[in-house]
């Protein structure tokens, strides 16, 4: 383990790695949360209720089969859960490995951009593959890299 | 960025904002975890197996279609994932913006109550809309507010 | 509240409880992330597309019904979300309660092993129950215990 900085110095908002992590993570959380109203919007538009008691809200006359547009957004939302949520922890732990600031900051920026693009090509305007696969892969590899760096550092 | 307190002073259990965040977050985690045994209970009651190897456990004689009561609890569980899990990060980051203690503490309390009520009206005793929508909305807006405050603070 | 250590001393990588938490959490994050390529692998193998634009990627000629092997891995993945993600927060908060080091470190180790075994008996090589139930239960009870210890400590 390096003799380097103490953890409380790394977990300080004056550490640019930490404050950029907090900034981009918060942006990702906002993006993640907005999947819920996006789902609602499409439930209204397609009159697709998730539960019998929701039928009056979305003006549905029957429960019917799941609507494909709604399901697509729910898949994008689930994909966010599978990727953004572990990143929120992996990124925080990665800050504690005292990475090179420029590398860490750009990883946070790129990975956030990748998740915005992922949602765009998945749930807003469907773009043929490999658009979504590439967006997924960028964030995935960066999160995996951060977790591996933590393992090597804290082992 | 304010000249104010250092992060390690904010992330201290003697900071009431932090210790209340830890308390209410832990209560939310317990509530979240209990969705699993609640699902199991309804799987037993309705003899609904999620996998062929579970049939013997829940005394099911066939896989059958998903049971609506079980699926309702799973939707409530998923909604918890979509909302409680990002809150656990957003709330922690929000503590670092050094918010007014009374405001922050009441936001933690109200948002926890809202999620308990959400589960109650969704999965325990179904109450007509907009009961569930209101519970969802309270927690959703508070988490969104916290994430926005973080963006403004760390930008 | 004990007079004990300050939070910033507990949240230090020189605190073995914290550094072991970071190590095993990072290992769990890697394990969690690998569920995505495992799903993809089975989508390729069974030519099961999740979206129409993925058909060309997995060489599917029609969307078809969900493949049972793919769905099994997705259920294991969802179970990871329901259990590993709250653990990442509960474990971090638990470090702040200044637990006995040997107890805490072994809880982190056992709970990580339990999740690896859970995935193995669920999605790699299906073992009859109660194998999966036991693996689930070990991690579940440990996470619940940590959250309860936090509630008692921060109340």
CATH of A11-154, one of 3.40.190.10, 3.30.9.10, 1.20.120.550, 3.40.630.30: 1.20.120.550
The answer to whether A86 contacts chain C (CB < 8 Å) is yes
What's the pLDDT score for residue A3?
54
For A77-132, write each residue's pLDDT tens digit.
999 999 999 999 999 999 999 999 999 999 999 999 999 999 999 999 999 989 99
pLDDT in tens, B35-72: 999 999 999 999 999 999 999 889 888 888 899 999 99
- The verdict on a CB contact (< 8 Å) between C53 and A132 is yes
Q: How many cross-chain Cβ pairs, B to C, lie less than 8 Å apart?
A: 83
pLDDT score of A37: 97
Q: Is B38 on the interface with C (CB under 8 A)?
A: no
Please spell the DSSP secondary structure of B101-122, one letter per residue. HHHHHHHHHHHHHHHHHHHIII
Note the pLDDT of residue C1. Answer: 44
State the Cα–Cα distance between residues A49 and B16, nearest whole angstrom. 42
**What is the C-alpha separation between B54 and B60, in angstroms, rounded?**
8
Nearest CB to C8; choose among B8, B20, B51: B8
Question: Which residues in chain A have Cβ-Cβ distances shorter than 8 Å to C108?
Answer: none
Q: Which residues of B touch C150 (CB under 8 A)?
A: 22-23, 25-26
**B154 in contact with A, Cβ within 8 Å:** yes
Q: pLDDT band for C3, please (50, 70, 90 cuts).
A: low
ipTM: 0.94
Check residue B3 and give its pLDDT: 54
The CATH class of C7-154 is mainly alpha
Q: Using one digit for the tens of pLDDT, what is the confidence trace for A25-78? A: 999 999 999 999 999 999 999 999 999 999 988 988 888 889 999 999 999 999
Q: Which CATH architecture has domain B13-154?
A: Up-down Bundle (1.20)
- Is C35 near chain A, with CB under 8 Å? yes
| Secondary structure letter of residue A51 according to DSSP | S
C-alpha dist (Å) from residue A22 to A82, A103, C8, C31, C59: 19, 16, 18, 24, 41
Which residue in B54, B60, B40, B35 sits closest to B123, CA to CA?
A: B35
pTM of this structure: 0.95
Instruction: Say whether B30 and C96 touch across the interface (CB within 8 A).
Output: no
Name all chains with 3 or more CB-CB pairs below 8 Å to chain B: A, C
Nearest-CA distance from A130 to chain B in Å? 27
A11 near B CB under 8 A: yes
A55, closest residue in chain B (CA to CA): B129
Say how far apart CA C142 and CA B86 lie, in whole Å.
Answer: 22
8 Å CB contact of B89 and A30? no
- Asked if C85 is an interface residue toward chain B (Cβ–Cβ < 8 A), one would say yes
Chain A: touching chains (3 or more CB pairs < 8 Å): B, C
C141 interface with B at CB cutoff 8 Å: no
């Amino acid at each position: 383990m390096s003799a380097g900085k103490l953890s409380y110095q790394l977990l300080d908002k004056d550490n640019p790695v930490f404050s950029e992590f907090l900034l981009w993570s918060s942006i990702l959380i906002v993006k993640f949360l907005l999947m819920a109203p996006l789902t609602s919007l499409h439930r209204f538009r397609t009159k697709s209720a998730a539960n019998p008691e929701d039928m009056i809200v979305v003006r549905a006359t029957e429960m019917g089969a799941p609507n494909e547009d709604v399901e697509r957004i729910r898949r994008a939302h689930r994909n966010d859960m599978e990727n953004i949520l572990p990143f929120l922890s992996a990124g925080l732990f990665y800050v504690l490995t005292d990475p090179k600031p420029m590398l860490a900051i750009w990883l946070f920026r790129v990975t956030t951009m990748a998740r915005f693009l992922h949602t765009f090509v998945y749930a807003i305007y469907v773009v043929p593959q490999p658009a979504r696969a590439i967006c997924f892969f960028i964030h995935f590899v960066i999160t995996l890299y951060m977790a591996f760096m933590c393992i090597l550092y804290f082992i």
